[in-house]
Amino acid sequence: MEPMESYVLITGASSGIGRATAVRLAKEKKNLILVARRQEKLSALEKELKPEGVKVVLRPLDLLDRKALEKMFNELKEFPLEAVINNAGKALGRDPLDKASDEDLQGMIDLNISAFLRVVLLSIPHLKKTQGHLVNIGSIAGLEIYENGATYCGTKHFVHAINQGARIDLLGSGIRVTEINPGNVDTEFSVVRYHGDTEKAKKVYQGYEPLHAEDVAEAIWYALSRPKHVNIQQIVIVPTAQTTTGKIARKES
């Protein structure tokens, strides 16, 4: 019997870092399972990946729908997972803690903590079978706290804690756990944060060259492509013009 082909599952594959990672991994001939809510974006990506000749499975779903998420992982038995890129996440608003809307705070907690953790937990049984690789996308916001961003930073500190905890608790399982912590990346992230205000979003990336999603995808591929006995625990990747979240060398235009 032919051995079953393995797959890399990517959450948040319809945009930004997740999308760029799908493109990068397809170039390495990795079969992909792509997860996000916007089916049309996933279908467009599938089309774009056709020339690479890899298998692409689309799983359009809302990660906040716990039942749908569990069903998807249960149905993945024919798709051995060599890696899971737990990437979907978001910031909502840029307000002082006591002025932020409940909706924004809860939205970040639901996706960046609850759904993120659920993906980790549902991935583990699959990755135990394959001695696979769990790549969690954190942020430099998980390593520091910045003004008017306490809850987003809190959710990314949670991601940081789970990365360390997973490495401790899964020791001996053969599963590798990698945390990728980017600084500013020019994606839909800021448009989402500012609730569709593209002018505000543009300003985040003005006066310097931010990271591009492809830069982060390259870092993810670096971690994935090390030999099995090498685990890259953490990659912190920022634009050259950035040190911390608030410290950016912007040029006047």
Q: What's 4's DSSP letter?
A: P
Going residue by residue from 150 to 179, which x/- string records binding to ligand NAP, judged by CB under 6 A?
A: ------------------------------
Catalytic residue among 47, 90, 146, 156: 156
CA distance 42 to 34: 7
Tokens in use for 36?
Answer: 């996000």
Stretch that binds ligand NAP, among 48-56, 95-103, 181-189, 240-248 (CB under 6 A): 181-189
Of 132 and 183, the one with the shorter C-beta distance to ligand NAP is: 183
Residue 17 CB, shortest distance to ligand NAP, in Å, is: 4
Instruction: Check binding of 94 to ligand NAP (CB under 6 A).
Output: no
H or E element that contains 116: helix 116-130
Residue 207 CB, shortest distance to ligand NAP, in Å, is: 15
Residue 72 CB, shortest distance to ligand NAP, in Å, is: 11
CB 75 within 8 A of CB 122: no
Helix (H, G, I), strand (E, B) or coil at 134: strand
CA distance 191 to 42: 19
Locate all alpha helices (DSSP H) within the chain, ordered by sequence.
16-27, 39-49, 66-74, 102-108, 116-130, 150-169, 189-193, 198-204, 213-224
What amino acid occupies position 200?
K
Residue 14 CB, shortest distance to ligand NAP, in Å, is: 4
Instruction: Check binding of 36 to ligand NAP (CB under 6 A).
Output: yes
User: Residue 77: exposed, middle, or buried by beta-carbon count in 10 A (0-12, 13-18, 19+)?
Assistant: exposed
Of 163 and 184, the one with the shorter C-beta distance to ligand NAP is: 184
Tokens in use for 124?
Answer: 């583990």
β strands within 148-231, DSSP E = 176-182
Compute how many other C-beta atoms are within 10 angstroms of the C-beta atom of residue 30. 22
Identify whether 208 is a catalytic site residue.
no
- Binding residue for ligand NAP (CB under 6 A) from 24, 83, 124, 139? 139
Identify whether 156 is a catalytic site residue.
yes
- Binding residue for ligand NAP (CB under 6 A) from 76, 105, 137, 166? 137
User: Which of the residues are catalytic?
Assistant: 152, 156
Binding residues (CB under 6 A) for ligand NAP: these are 12-18, 36-38, 41, 62-64, 87-90, 111, 137, 139, 182, 184-185, 187-189, 192, 213
